[in-house]
A = this chain, B = another copy of it.
């Protein structure tokens, strides 16, 4: 760790992280944290993590994509008392996996390795079925298996990783969901999720199913287990309801560690499957992925002359942010890239080609691992009772 990376994430964010899809990036995330009532990750938690990680910090933590939390300090305190947490995260299987999905999973895998803990991974194939008129249960189930291949290709320990397929809801899971549901009124669900009279009654019940994995490990193990949820901050409302209900049911409140959105390849907005051209899917060929990167939005100027004169704008540049969050782990090299860009010494074509090679390599390796994952392997990891 360089001296610089010993700074708290909040400080780092203050001088470096401006997301390219929001002009007032930093300020908005701070506002979001305030609005949601979560807490920015700070030095103290980072230092505790380092005790377990032998000093190493994952890039996504060090560079502040994971930036906010609820009770993560409590999770670490329980750990120091010898009470291990389990991880819980998930995926809404409405299509193929893209890089924006992989990012929190990559970090979750790092947490699994560092803390040697179990992961409960929920495939919300019922949610995607209920909320989307165009998707059948068999569509969402198929995508759940496809997405699960990506989850495993990220490298989770198969012995410590359990899938919850909502379409394979077990009796224990249903009973937990009903216990939650009994304590959530339509008013509350409406206020948090914006349901209306037109919402179907499956959508309205669904928050109970999303809360359920927070309590399932405690039920399966017969004792209360602390839960840590790594997820994008927009998922926070689900856990707010869960946290309200937890003490009423005699469970610990789930803790969370939140990330910002991972950007798509166009100007503005998070990576979203609804804009496939700005999205790198794990099912793209490495060549397709490379091609998409070559069309990415950058911080380049209108003309070569202008760029040489004024320098590029890395804070607006998708290519730069991909290097920042995921592909350039060397702080010095990243700093050099930024300095050279600002000085007009770097041209966008060069950076894009450079990143495209890295993405080509990344997707190729991911697919090599992905191709080895069979449906049978996933089936064995699905909780069935």
Contacts and interface: CB of A to CB of B under 8 A. Distances in A.
B129 A178 contact: yes
B197 A201 contact: no
B201 A205 contact: yes
Contacts of A36: none
Contacts of A310: none
Contacts of A189: 201
Nearest to A184: B201
A175 interface: yes
Given A130-B181, A169-B169, A181-B130, A201 B186 contact: yes
Given A167-B171, A169-B174, A208 B197 contact: no
A201 B204 contact: yes
B186 A204 contact: yes
Contacts of A178: 126, 129-130, 137, 202
**A-side interface size class:** 35 or more
Interface string A110-152: 0000000000000000100110000001000000000000000
A205 B186 CA distance: 11
A199 interface: yes
A257 B173 CA distance: 34
Nearest to A168: B171
Interface string A177-213: 1110111111101100001111111111101100000
Q: Is the interface of A mostly helix, strand, loop or mixed?
A: helix
A170 interface: yes
Contacts of A166: 174
Nearest to A183: B200
Contact of A174 (B174, B181, B184): B174
Contact of A185 (B126, B175, B177, B200): B200
Given A169-B171, A171-B168, A205-B204, A187 B181 contact: no
Contact of A181 (B170, B201, B208): B201
Contacts of A183: 200
A339 B177 CA distance: 58
Contacts of A185: 197-201
Contacts of A198: 185-187
B181 A202 contact: yes
Interface in A86-132: 126, 129-130
A204 B199 CA distance: 11
In this complex, which of A126, A166, A167, A181 has the most chain B Cβ atoms within 10 angstroms of its Cβ?
A181
Interface of A: 126, 129-130, 137, 166-171, 174-175, 177-179, 181-187, 189-190, 195-205, 207-208
Nearest 6 interchain pairs by C-beta = A181-B202, A205-B205, A169-B174, A187-B197, A168-B171, A181-B201
16 contacts: A126-B174, A130-B178, A130-B182, A137-B178, A137-B179, A166-B174, A169-B174, A181-B203, A184-B201, A185-B197, A185-B201, A186-B199, A186-B204, A201-B205, A202-B208, A205-B205
Given A186-B201, A201-B208, 13 more contacts: A126-B175, A126-B178, A137-B175, A166-B174, A167-B171, A167-B175, A169-B174, A181-B205, A182-B200, A182-B202, A185-B200, A201-B205, A204-B204
